[in-house]
Amino acid sequence: MSQLLTPAEVEAGAARARALEAELSKVLIDQNAVVSRVVVALLARGHVLLEGLPGLGKTELCKGIARLLDLPFKRLQFTPDLLPGDITGTYILEGAGRDFTFRPGPIFASVVLADEINRASPKTQSALLEAMQERRVTVLGTTHTLPDPFFVLATQNPIELEGTYPLPEAQLDRFLFKVHVKPVGAATLSKLLTTRLRGESPELKPVTDLPGLQDLFAKIDRVHLPEPVANYVGRLVAASDPKGPLAPEAVKRFVRWGASPRAALSIAGAARALALLKGKPNVGFDEVAQVASDALNHRLVLSHEAALEGLGGPEIAAKIVAAVPELERS
């Protein structure tokens, strides 16, 4: 068991995490819930899928993260003609001996923006599977390690829009959170028009460097997860299985396949990060409940009946969180 965090360590970690959150809020105005989720996922070393209409600032948010953390950044613009080698890289003939040399693709960066990921074919999307799970890519039988840290922040337009492809379930499961970016109101638009004349990004200065970020990761790993809270996480994920004994009625009716064990790891990691952001040395039930819905909503495979009822992953995930008690009933 790792040594528990001291009050001074908790305070220092929370201050650095809050500074990141505060600076990132300057990029995406009046979208505090979205910014908070992205920061929590980053601190938990997870990937995020942002869904929303074009022009809501999703891309600028990703670029802002790289600037604030002073990390290498690459942008991948997904299009229907994008090939897997355009992402991972490929071997080319070089030199007088005409030897094959590996030319790394744009996936070799610490912060990778997969912009409009659902505009590429499922075959191309699958090029990210190994990278997002194992932090490496294999090209022509040779494995290449990706930078550490490695963070994918993908954006997608709503699937109903023309020219988009649904993401495979295995791809969705690699994302810690799927976050819906909602349109802003008139007050936010007015603020945007008066502070950014041509829609330019705000001036941002790094809030930490790589050693500072690694120190933050180490602190989050030491945030204590009590056994009753871990049991709560396990029951939340088990309740997403429509054939399981813990499934609420909504899951039995509308879910075909529930979440995988990766979802439990995602919830626990995100809850640890959120606890430190709040200045707490241990995870409580509240932190788990706050992150569970965003960690589950994209991992549920729903039935056609759910679509007919107008229910999506977020609604069903919220019902799971509402139905599962914090403490196990004896």
Average pLDDT over residues 189-203: 72
- Report the percent of the chain where pLDDT is more than 70: 94
For 151, the enclosing helix (H) or strand (E) is strand 151-156
For residue 310, how many other CB atoms are within 10 A of its CB?
7
Sign of CA dihedral 17, 20, 25, 28: negative
CA 203 to chain centre: 24
Tens of pLDDT, residues 205-244: 888 888 999 999 999 999 999 999 999 999 999 999 999 9
Confidence band (pLDDT; 50, 70, 90) for 292?
very high
Q: Specify which of 67-71, 244-248, 270-274 reaches the highest per-range mean pLDDT.
A: 270-274
Identify the residue whose tokens are 């606890």.
275
Q: What is the largest CA-CA distance in the chain?
A: 74
User: For residue 267, what are the β-bridge partners?
Assistant: none
> Whole-model pTM?
0.89
What domains are defined for the chain?
27-199 (3.40.50.300), 223-324 (1.10.8.80)
User: What one-character-per-residue DSSP string does 167-229 give?
Assistant: PPHHHHTTEEEEEE-PPP-HHHHHHHHHH-TT-PPPP---S--HHHHHHHHHHHHTSB--HHH
Confidence band (pLDDT; 50, 70, 90) for 41?
very high
Average pLDDT over residues 180-196: 77
Distances (CA, A) of 303 to 4, 259, 296: 44, 14, 16
What is the spatial distance between Cα 170 and Cα 280, in angstroms, rounded to a whole number? 33
Distances (CA, A) of 309 to 78, 162, 305, 306, 322: 32, 23, 6, 5, 19
Question: What is the token pair recorded at 67?
Answer: 């600037």
pLDDT for 161 equals: 61
pLDDT for 162 equals: 65
User: What one-character-per-residue DSSP string does 18-59 give?
Assistant: HHHHHHHTTTSTT-HHHHHHHHHHHHTT-EEEEE--TTSSHH
- Cβ 277 vs Cβ 14: under 8 Å: yes
Tens of pLDDT, residues 88-103: 988 888 766 667 888 8
